[in-house]
Structures are given as C-alpha cells and as structure tokens.
Amino acid sequence: MTLPFTLTKDYTSTLTYDQLLALLSRLQPSRKQWQLYEVDNYSVGLVHKGFVLRYAEPRHNLPAMPKIVGEITQEHPITIQLKIAPNYFLVAFLLLFPVVFVPAALFSDDWTINGVHRAPVLTERLSMLLTGGVFPLLICYVGAIIPVKKAEDWIVKKLALQQLPFGYT
C-alpha cells in the first residue's frame, strides 16, 4: 500500500549497473547560497540492489527533505523504481490545525471576544479560517509536498533517467 503524497515511479537508464553505482558513489553534497530547496545536499547509501539518499546534514534535521529510495528491479537495461516520500510527521502535524480550527471557525457561535460573550462576525470567522486552516495547508504544501517533486526532478536529471511508458512491466 502506498501512502498519499508518496511518489512511486519506474524509470530506465542507458547507464550500466557499474556506471550507475559509480555515479551514485560520486554524488557529493554541495551547498548553494540562496537556494530554497537544497536538493544537492544528499548523501548516498548503497544497499543491495538499490540506494538510499538522505539529507546530508542530519544534525539540522530538515523535515522538508524527503528520503529517496531507489530499487534496481532489472539490470539489462537498468530499471529503477524510485520511491520518494515526504515527512509524514510534518504533514500530520500541519493537517491537525485545519481539522481543529476550520470547524470551530465555521460552526461555533459561542465566542468571548475582548471580554464580550457574542457570536463572531464574518471577518472574525474568516481570519480564524485563514490563519488556522488555509495557512497551515499552504505551509504543508510548500514544506512537504513541493520538495518531493523537486527531489524527483533532481534525481532524474542527475542519473539521466527516462520514465517508463504507462503499463510497462
């Protein structure tokens, strides 16, 4: 079962198995100034018939950097199944706010505002809806979902991969 927001795709490469391993072992983390998503800052772990790319500086523990797992399913030609997943703790934490604040903003008529017990006006409801619902959803999209796509684009470019046609096994 694939979790939501997890990207799982099959790719093929013109490289041989040894060339692919050599290219992966040469990937060095590089830091660029003023780069929003530091996709070049991965360290490679080679495992049996695959590889795992993790954020190179674990002490900073950036939750936006997704882990990339590549499994080599076929060697002639090289077929790689990439699995890129966001940090689900960050996604769950940020989705908790809309679950709590959106129903409260829409359905609660019993508020105490500035010491006065009354129903909120439309602008107060909208401000709570935006700050407690829409803003965390936007942060979730920018901080957890977009980095998955950026990481996919980066690894496809680095390894010169081509996506397999739909239905190809």
Q: Give me the amino acid identity at 147.
A: P
Residue 65 lies in a domain: yes
Two tokens, residue 124? 């107060």
Domain identity same for 14 and 33: yes
Domain identity same for 19 and 69: yes
Q: Kindly state the average pLDDT of the residues 106-113.
A: 83
Segment 136-140 long-range contacts (CB within 8 Å, at least 24 positions apart): 136/94, 136/95, 136/97, 136/98, 137/94, 137/95, 137/98, 139/94, 140/90, 140/91, 140/94, 140/95
Domain identity same for 94 and 79: no
How far apart are alpha carbons 40 and 86 in whole angstroms? 17
How far apart are alpha carbons 105 and 103 in whole angstroms? 5
Domain identity same for 46 and 98: no
Residue 169 lies in a domain: no
What digits encode the pLDDT tens for the residues 3-33? 888 999 999 988 888 888 888 888 766 666 6
Residue 1 lies in a domain: no
Residue 156 lies in a domain: yes
How far apart are alpha carbons 128 and 148 in whole angstroms? 29
What digits encode the pLDDT tens for the residues 36-76? 555 567 778 888 888 988 877 665 556 677 889 999 888 88
State the total domains in the chain: 2
- Boundaries of domain holding 48: 7-87+147-163
Domain identity same for 79 and 110: no
Residue with tokens 């809806």: 129
* CATH code, domain with 53: 3.30.310
Residue 70 lies in a domain: yes
Stronger pLDDT, 34 or 79, i.e. the higher one:
79
Q: Kindly state the average pLDDT of the residues 96-123.
A: 87
Q: What average pLDDT does the chain have?
A: 83
How far apart are alpha carbons 47 and 97 in whole angstroms? 38
Domain identity same for 71 and 153: yes
